[in-house]
Amino acid sequence: MNRVLKSAVIIVLLSSLCTAAEYRLQDGIVEIANQISRSMKNKNAKSVAILDFTELSGAKLLFGGYLSEKLIFEIFRIEGLKVIERNKLNEVLRELTLQNTGMMDGNSIKELGRILGVDALLIGTITDMGTSVDINGRLVNTQSAEILAVTSIMLKKDDQLALMMKPQGTAVVSTAGDSTASAQKKYDITVRVLSATIKDKAVADAEVTLQKEGQPSVAARTDAEGKAVVRSAFPDDGSVSLIIKKEGYSTLTAKGPCTGMSYAVSEILLQMDAFRVVLSWGAEPNDLDLHVVYPNNHINFNKKTGSDAFLDVDDTSSFGPETITIQRRRQGEKYVFAVHNYSANGSYGNRKLSDVSKAKVFVYVGQSLIRSYSVPANQKGGLWVVFAVDGNGAINDIGNIVDIAESSRVESYLRQLIERADFGVARRATAAESDDAKSFTDRGASALNLGGGELAVSFFQKAIERDPNFGPAYEGLARAYEKLNRSAEVMWARRKASELTRFVPANGFRIANAGVALTASSSMGNWKQYTFTPDNLIDDNLWTSWQPVTKPAGGEKEWIKMSFKKEKTVTGFEFSNGFRRIDDLGDLYTMNNRIKTALIQFSDGSEMPITFNDTPTESTFMLPSPKKCTWVKLTVNSIYKGTKWNDLALSEFHVLGQE
């Protein structure tokens, strides 16, 4: 074949290849999505964030945003892959002052990947070739910043595509036939925003934003009555986050559901050692009361002022708020905050506080919301003990609901918590919660490295929600507040980080109640509002106890056995010895018998003797090495004698394990 003929054949073949590789717009987008999804599965990448494709110079085109939006939709439809919603990505990038483009260095890619919690970023370029548009994409590993895969296609430049090949902001593009958004059901979510410190004062022109993973954020502003109606494409449930912002007020964040609720925002606190606690709830019950007890003081609806503190707002007709402001925290003194269902005053076994009220408590320091709490579900009782502040100013989460019906008995219960050496049963995270806390802390550190102070705060706070005793989250939070020049918040976070050095992660995780069953040698019958069953040992409530039937030996040789639904690797035990209750009968710890020495037996036939100190505090016993077993049994060998009754009492018994 002569050279002329060979050249002609080559030209024809090349022309055919170019024509075959030139896609119509929608077909080309599907092809890119298919190529990327195959590459992700081959590289074991399960999540991706898609940045706007740009021109080679980094200039942003209308088509770049459109392309990333459509790729999100196409890849999302592929089972097993997670895609970060574009609006969420843009919010993160704005906070970090980064551009939504591929113009980032390797370190920025790694940090952004950690912040977003994704395995890969898809970045790419768009080149106008005249009659066609060249698309080149790179799938980048966020751990190493190495390229995992590339994609390259040519799009036929039709009229629709030509309209979008303009700089962003110069035109609004109509995408006929693309009705995915308009077909979605809409939800109207209504909330009301009030002042936390002035009764019934509506807060107008506050920005109310709703967020949900994988969905665009939606927002509205409050009217003159403080009401905002947010139209959303997603339903109002526990996966929704609410954010309220208003100049001069601390930003409020809360978990849904929130429709029909009133939220009270706090004016910024100027004093360094001041803090504010705000209670809000739903339509029922009519009257919830916020209480705080500290030395020589009990502030509530009945006594609205105390030493350096006062009740700002008292509400008796649903929704709240009720607000207590501590103008100056008194060094060395302990504070305990609780919510009582006054509407069920005197009614034992009532569940409305837990199951109906939707009660939430918010804690403010300086210009920040530092902690928020939602009432625990599926529990009976009229008193929710929310949190405490120790003598050094560190917040200790409690979160117990106890069956105290009378308002007159609230003070005596809370008083014992500030008089004891501890605040009761320490909140322990599960292994999964601890892993989540570490992940959020890493993401917060990455946000801080890229300059995003507010974003870092949100991640550190999410870590604390998952594990309130995760010290590194508080250390990171202090650094983030320092970057934002919030001195009061820095001081609070550092106090808590320091206080948490007593928690040793190597102790293990508490084995969940759902995985255990308790049996005992015997149990006393119920008396008045007191119960003495073995299940009281795992209810995180120091006002209940297990007590065996009264015998001359005073509890010696009595036993309690904990069986596991499946084999566990046990590392240790936590006990609250005696009856850790003070009420109108007196100090039940000293009045009843307590365990002095005991023997712990394991299902593998081994044994471990233990000795208790006679103090009303939590005791921890660690095994010399982890042990696999299906049950453990504690037998009482000797006792400390009570001052009044010959009844043995044990308030809490928890097993720690590696799982």
Q: For residue range 601-653, list pLDDT tens digits in order.
A: 999 999 999 999 998 888 889 999 999 999 999 999 999 999 999 999 999 99
8 Å CB contact between 190 and 227? yes
- Report the pLDDT averaged over residues 33-41: 90
Calpha distance 5→19 (Å, rounded): 21
pLDDT tens digit sequence for 190-232:
999 999 988 889 999 999 999 887 677 789 999 999 999 999 8
pLDDT at 172: 44
Distances (CA, A) of 396 to 337, 494, 619: 11, 14, 18
Range name among 153-162, 266-275, 498-507 with the lowest pLDDT average: 498-507
Q: How confident is the model at residue 101 (pLDDT cuts 50, 70, 90)?
A: low
Whether residue 88 has pLDDT greater than 80: no
What pLDDT, on a 0 to 100 scale, did the predictor assign at position 285?
92
Question: Taking Cα atoms as reference points, which of 444, 290, 447 lies closest to residue 363?
Answer: 290
Please name the residue that has the structure tokens 């930003």: 251
Report the range out of 19-23, 100-104, 318-322, 436-440 with the highest average pLDDT: 436-440
The listed range with the strongest mean pLDDT (33-37, 202-206, 469-473) is 202-206
Q: Do the Cβ atoms of 198 and 157 come closer than 8 Å?
A: no
pLDDT for 618: 84
- For residues 421-425, average pLDDT: 67
Residue 109 binned pLDDT confidence (cut-offs 50, 70, 90): confident
Give the range with max mean pLDDT: 95-99, 142-146, 182-186, 607-611.
607-611
The pLDDT of residue 292 is 97
Mean pLDDT across 429-451: 88
Q: What's the pLDDT at 507? A: 65
Residue whose C-alpha is closest to residue 479's, from 436, 501, 446: 446
Whether the predicted pLDDT of 173 surpasses 50: no
**Whole-number average pLDDT of the chain:** 86
Residue 2 has a pLDDT of 52
pLDDT at 232: 87
SS3 assignment, position 176: coil
Q: pLDDT tens for residues 518-574?
A: 999 999 998 887 899 999 999 877 778 999 998 899 999 999 999 999 999 999 999
Q: Is residue 15 predicted with pLDDT exceeding 50?
A: no
8 Å CB contact between 149 and 124: no
Peptide bond into 321 cis (omega under 30): yes
Percent of the chain with pLDDT over 70: 91
pLDDT tens-digit map of 376-398: 998 888 999 999 999 889 898 88
pLDDT 10s digits, 307-329: 999 998 777 777 889 999 999 99
Neighbours of 30 (CB within 10 A): 14
Distance (Å, rounded) from C-alpha 79 to C-alpha 623? Answer: 45
- Token pair for residue 630? 């299906």
Question: At 171, is the pLDDT very low, low, confident or very high (cuts 50, 70, 90)?
Answer: very low
**Over 90: is that where the pLDDT of 75 sits?**
no
Domains of the chain, first to last: 21-164 (3.40.50.10610), 188-380 (2.60.40.1120), 431-503 (1.25.40.10), 509-657 (2.60.120.260)
Measured between alpha carbons, how far is 5 from 2 in angstroms, rounded to an integer? 5
Higher pLDDT, 368 or 514: 368
pLDDT > 90 in the chain, percent: 50
pLDDT (0 to 100) of residue 312: 86
C-alpha R_g of the chain: 30
Helix residue spans in 43-180 (DSSP H): 62-76, 86-95, 106-116, 159-164
What pLDDT does 403 receive? 84
pLDDT at 98: 65
Q: What is the pLDDT of residue 170?
A: 55
* pLDDT recorded at residue 353: 95
Q: Is the pLDDT of residue 12 over 60?
A: no
